[in-house]
């Protein structure tokens, strides 16, 4: 029984990480640069959910569309402030700009929350339901259902809609996309809206179990970053799978040897992977990635 619950927790955490990594990799492909503020958008999603629940006394399920909307708008803002004006500058400019953006979000949240961590209400109520004799946490179930639905919708959007196809075209070759008349900037902004919304959803879902604290951003960003590096730079399915794996590993290894060793093993593993297989576990060569 306990093993089944542990496994469910592991998969749920992996699903939340997959949402973070999905937003991260979409933004990465669109901008051609890492968005170091992505983790802070996740935390912001949690923070916005806390604020909405408190001020509007909104029912928990209503938080989902609201957070998606707000963080989608924040994503566009992030693109307008720290990505789009710098697309033609050397890569270290975006590096600095998104790190500064991350710091802005973090410190603004610190001021707004007065330093006290807060809890997001559970999306589908607290407690557990019995499934085949196993007590399944309602929040874990909600994470799996909402996360799965979000990933499916993003897949449909990218693969089956002309908006998604244009987003992919811009991500693949910005210059060429422009040359055939696609307003690249607008589609990069749209991708960041999607990326921000996914981050917000993840923050909302994680914020119940792990609280919302302004300093979590770097940690979330790092998980997504690792997922993208292990899954093959820029590969969306690779990032999703790697994020699921990282979440599951973290949950199970934490339960087994404690959190510190689990984290340590993950970071050592990343350095070892980059050193031995610089192309990622199943990805393209990293050696000449610029």
Residue whose CB is less far from other proteins, 14 or 39: 39
Q: How far is the CB of 277 from other proteins (least distance, A)?
A: 11
Phi, psi torsion values for 134, nearest 5 degrees: -105, 135
Q: How far is the CB of 165 from other proteins (least distance, A)?
A: 24
Residue whose CB is less far from other proteins, 91 or 237: 91
Residue whose CB is less far from other proteins, 19 or 83: 83
Q: Rounded CA gap, 8 and 151, in Å?
A: 18
Residue whose CB is less far from other proteins, 205 or 253: 253
Q: How far is the CB of 24 from other proteins (least distance, A)?
A: 12
Binding stretches for other proteins (CB under 8 A):
33-34, 81-82, 85-86, 89-93, 95-97, 99-104, 107-108, 110-111, 215, 218, 222, 225-226, 229, 233, 260, 263-264, 267-268, 270-271, 274-276, 278, 286-290
Give the up-direction half-sphere exposure of residue 184: CA atoms within 13 A in the CB hemisphere.
Answer: 21
Report the 3 state secondary structure along 21-73.
HHHHHHHHHHHCCCCCCHHHHHHHHHHHHHHHHHHHCCCHHHHHHHHHHHHHH
Of residues 204, 219, 222, the one with CA closest to residue 47: 204
Residue whose CB is less far from other proteins, 209 or 263: 263
Q: How far is the CB of 62 from other proteins (least distance, A)?
A: 30
Q: How far is the CB of 39 from other proteins (least distance, A)?
A: 10
- What residues are paired with 128 via a beta bridge? 137
Cβ atoms within 10 Å, residue 184 = 21
């Amino acid at each position: 029984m306990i093993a089944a619950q542990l496994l469910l927790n592991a998969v749920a955490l992996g699903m939340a990480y997959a949402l973070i990594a999905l937003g991260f990799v979409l933004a990465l492909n669109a901008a051609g640069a890492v968005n170091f503020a992505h983790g802070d958008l996740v935390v912001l999603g949690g923070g916005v959910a806390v604020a909405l629940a408190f001020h509007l006394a909104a029912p928990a399920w209503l938080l989902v569309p609201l957070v998606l909307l707000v963080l989608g708008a924040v994503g566009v803002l992030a693109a307008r402030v720290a990505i789009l004006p710098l697309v033609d500058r050397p890569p270290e400019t975006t590096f600095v700009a998104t790190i500064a953006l991350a710091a802005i979000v973090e410190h603004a949240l610190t001021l707004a929350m007065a330093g006290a961590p807060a809890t997001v209400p559970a999306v589908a109520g607290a407690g557990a339901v019995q499934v085949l004799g196993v007590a399944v946490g309602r929040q874990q179930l909600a994470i799996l259902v909402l996360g799965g639905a979000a990933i499916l919708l993003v897949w449909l959007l990218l693969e089956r809609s002309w908006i998604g196809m244009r987003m992919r075209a811009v991500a693949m070759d910005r210059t060429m996309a422009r040359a055939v008349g696609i307003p690249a900037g607008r589609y990069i902004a749209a991708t960041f809206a999607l990326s921000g919304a996914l981050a917000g959803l993840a923050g909302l879902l994680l914020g119940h179990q792990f609280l919302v604290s302004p300093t979590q951003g770097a940690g979330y960003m790092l998980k997504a970053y690792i997922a993208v590096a292990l899954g093959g730079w820029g590969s969306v399915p690779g990032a999703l799978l790697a994020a699921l794996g990282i979440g599951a590993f973290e949950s199970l290894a934490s339960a087994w040897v404690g959190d510190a060793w689990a984290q340590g093993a993950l970071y050592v593993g990343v350095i070892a992977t980059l050193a031995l297989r610089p192309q990622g576990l199943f990805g393209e060569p990293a050696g000449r990635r610029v």
